[in-house]
Structure 1
């Protein structure tokens, strides 16, 4: 899920084959549908996924009217100060507000329609005067109740609640394509009528702020529970987090010494805890950085220094428009969502470490008993996985679908 301010012989056939072939065909069709969002977003053309090309329409006012088809959306502030969440709606019925004030330690429960498509972000260091709200990051044209997507840099949580085949899948992601301003997590809230999904497949986080990073660990339970530990990024220290953003992309670089001696830009100058980082596209807006024009091709547009570092510190987040390590989560739809501003812990590494399990869930809509058992096994969770252990490419799925369909037609 990508967001950018600029802008992913009949008679001889046995009766057994007549049953088997259509079953295989349907299976492959579901497989293709299950991953179509993850690949199409790389092409920047998937209508299922939320893209916000500049200013978007005002959010629908008033909560969704059908109580049987509404989805809970909770926003929680675990930052050490007040945050002003922003909400942008691209499709479906939004929560009836585009933004509000949320004090430290508080949550706000909202409702969106079952087919909602939109994004959530946090605004920081805001000055509020009535309906006006001027923010240091994430500002939306000076309004408290946003009528458009926010300015960069901003960490994003993006959702398409009714995507895929017949709208039966939910696509969501954390995105750094518009830059980074604060840590963010997304937690799935299961409902009574949803498929059981272990929380270490759904609950993701991006933490790139030093004071919020815990000591290195391969797994953790602070986003899940003791039965299903979540795989974590292990290489980043607090010092790394303080300096991960390339100097030229800093939204507010610290002041240099005033004695006429200017050290090399990316040096040991102490950076503040709050150090928002622009993406390459947000900083310079070139076709190359934004993957547009002649660079609108995954074989041509390559990750910038920002994107490479962002992917290290937040493996499960989108880092640029053609993020080749798939960064979209795909699960059966239903249930609700909590977006957490400033979770403490470490960034998750779910899509690399548990990619096969995510594929199984996307393809079949459920998990086998054997898979659920593996998701409790710490040794398996932390074992080295290949780069291929990601959501399968749509080309492979579609090729399989075509083969299965051809066999069915022959039958």
Structure 2
């Protein structure tokens, strides 16, 4: 996501309090949450492993620094780390490193629904969103305890996903993912891609949502999500909450 990649690391203020983040698995099956901090944007990181197993209806809470910058949390499905742990150990959302994602390269394999955060960002606000820029693999919501907006993609986009971008599939043939046109590589020239907003399409003006194949499928079903690289113009992609409220956040899978 452009705005997060461009985020400027903020200096930690001595005495600043940490936030509480809770990851809740409301899915009727086990998932393997994963977390990544872009260390090029900031060094502050949560006091939680970068990946763990979480059974159905289980909650996991941990502290997150007030200045967590360019942080990502997502879920992985159908994982087996017993042999050759790495990005292909899960049916979707896997990462370099296996169960615990590598802190430098473990960003996750698309398709994956991603919760993104930059706390105490410019203007005294927390920034957060549910991103479908890397595609979809699990329903997700971000809520908070101070009344700020909910970011979410609460529906299962797999079953009705257009065939050209549907998948992967579980052992029964059920689609557990939906790629974006960008991640599916549908453009003839990846260096000049109107779906990935690269080359001559690398600005908001030259990469409008109207030119992004299948944008309406993602945004129409999940209007409060970040559906492509320049989706902030929709007004319902990137959400903000005053940093002064010291919000605690809950990321719910299968809300």
| TM-score, normalised by the number of residues in structure 1 | 0.52
- Give the structure 2 partner of residue 283 of structure 1: 184
Looking at structure 2, the residues matched to 331 and 319 of structure 1 have their Cα atoms a distance apart, in angstroms, of 20
User: Would you tell me which structure has more helix in proportion to its own residues?
Assistant: 1
Is contact 1:131–1:145 with CA below 8 Å preserved after alignment?
A: no
- Give the structure 2 partner of residue 325 of structure 1: 234
- Give the structure 1 partner of residue 205 of structure 2: 299
Q: How does 1:80-95 map to 2 (within 5 A)?
A: 80-90=28-38, 91=42, 92-95=44-47
Give the Å deviation of 1:131.
9.5
Give the Å deviation of 1:302.
3.3
Deviates more, 1:88-97 or 1:74-83: 88-97
Is contact 1:157–1:186 with CA below 8 Å preserved after alignment?
A: yes
- Give the structure 2 partner of residue 250 of structure 1: 166
Deviations 1:150-188 (A, max 9, x none): 0100001100111013xx210100110000001001111
Evaluate the alpha carbon distance shift between residue 154 and residue 129 of structure 1 in structure 2; reply closer, same or farther with a 3 A threshold.
Answer: same
Alignment of 1:336 with 2:252, yes or no, is no
Alignment of 1:146 with 2:101, yes or no, is yes
Looking at structure 2, the residues matched to 132 and 67 of structure 1 have their Cα atoms a distance apart, in angstroms, of 39
Give the Å deviation of 1:307.
1.4
Give the Å deviation of 1:293.
1.4
Q: How does 1:329-368 map to 2 (within 5 A)?
A: 329-333=239-243, 334-343=246-255
> Secondary structure of the equivalent of 2:72?
strand
- Give the structure 2 partner of residue 312 of structure 1: 220
Is contact 2:152–2:224 with CA below 8 Å preserved after alignment?
A: yes
Evaluate the alpha carbon distance shift between residue 68 and residue 301 of structure 1 in structure 2; reply closer, same or farther with a 3 A threshold.
Answer: closer
Paired residue for 1:183, among 112, 128, 139?
A: 139
Structure 2 gaps of 5+ residues are none
Question: Aligned residues, how many?
Answer: 231
Is contact 1:131–1:144 with CA below 8 Å preserved after alignment?
A: no
> Secondary structure of the equivalent of 1:136?
strand
Looking at structure 1, the residues matched to 180 and 85 of structure 2 have their Cα atoms a distance apart, in angstroms, of 27
Alignment of 1:203 with 2:115, yes or no, is no
> Secondary structure of the equivalent of 1:276?
coil
Give the Å deviation of 1:141.
2.1
Give the Å deviation of 1:290.
0.9
Give the Å deviation of 1:251.
2.2
Give the Å deviation of 1:103.
0.5
Cα RMSD between the aligned structures? 2.7
Evaluate the alpha carbon distance shift between residue 142 and residue 248 of structure 1 in structure 2; reply closer, same or farther with a 3 A threshold.
Answer: farther
Evaluate the alpha carbon distance shift between residue 45 and residue 89 of structure 1 in structure 2; reply closer, same or farther with a 3 A threshold.
Answer: closer
Is contact 2:92–2:168 with CA below 8 Å preserved after alignment?
A: no
Give the Å deviation of 1:99.
0.6
Deviations 1:210-238 (A, max 9, x none): 7xxxxxxxxxxxxxxxxxxxxxxxxxxxx
Evaluate the alpha carbon distance shift between residue 250 and residue 101 of structure 1 in structure 2; reply closer, same or farther with a 3 A threshold.
Answer: same
Deviates more, 1:155-164 or 1:300-309: 300-309
Q: How does 1:37-56 map to 2 (within 5 A)?
A: 41=3, 46-48=6-8
Structure 1 gaps of 5+ residues are 3-7, 9-40, 50-63, 191-196, 211-240, 255-270, 344-411
Deviations 1:294-319 (A, max 9, x none): 11022222332321210000001111
Higher alpha-carbon Rg: 1
Looking at structure 2, the residues matched to 158 and 203 of structure 1 have their Cα atoms a distance apart, in angstroms, of 13
